[in-house]
Amino acid sequence: MGASRRWRPGLVALGVAGAIACAGGVAWTVGNAGERQPVLSMVRPVVAGEVIEARDVGVVRLGVDDATQVVRAGQPDAVIGRRAVVPLVPGQLLAPGQLGDAAGFPPDGQALVVVGVEPGMLPAGLAQGQRIAVVPGAPPGGRGTADADAEAKVPDPVLGVVNAVGRRESASGKGAVTVLVDAGAVRRVAQMSDPRVAVLSTSVKAVS
């Protein structure tokens, strides 16, 4: 049996997470800077391309340095009924550039892929924005006498960032996880038999 392939979860996951973070708009630093004023923030996750509803949005009072980069609480019409250009997560302040008529997502070089996961294999608490590894399950027929050949055909794990989670609707159904991955990894995900999802810790280190 040849040497198993090495993959670098730290480096790849950070790259993918960075892509979704950059697509999500500015990173906010708030506190005592600037005058405290009511602004709109997300209270529910909304995937790119979805229309934002009133129940998705809340009001918080924050001190911001540049009020032109946020949506004030008195401007709900600028948000409600508009489409999210990028994925939006709870607690995120809304900025004008995150709203539009069509999604500007996924970023160049990235792709969204839907992974069907068997009942009981979807991690509890899985949510948008988490870094995960899509791991191949046992190959068709299990590990038989041709163990080495089976291993050679099993795709490597694929790292990505959760964009949306759909729980199964029945005991016999599958859960659906929409994942942002490198565009070149889409075929590997499609080739996986009985895929599993593993949530990655922020302390994952690269394998040397």
Q: Which of 94, 60, 59 is nearest to 79 (CA)?
A: 94
Bridge-based pairing of strands 99-100 and 131-135 is unpaired
Q: Which of 22-26, 33-37, 98-102 reaches the highest mean pLDDT?
A: 98-102
C-alpha–C-alpha distance, residues 94 and 67, integer Å: 11
3-state secondary structure of 2: coil
- Provide the H-helix boundaries in the chain: 9-23, 147-153, 186-190
Average predicted confidence (pLDDT) for the chain: 74
List the single range of 44-58, 91-105, 194-208 with lowest mean pLDDT.
194-208
pTM assigned to the model: 0.57
pLDDT, average across residues 15-39 = 51
Measured from the Cβ of residue 143, the count of other Cβ atoms closer than 10 Å reads 12
Bridge-based pairing of strands 99-100 and 83-84 is antiparallel
List the single range of 61-65, 124-128, 186-190 with lowest mean pLDDT.
61-65
Say yes or no to pLDDT of 100 above 70.
Answer: yes
Q: What is the pLDDT of residue 53?
A: 94
Can you read off the two tokens belonging to residue 3? Answer: 């040497």
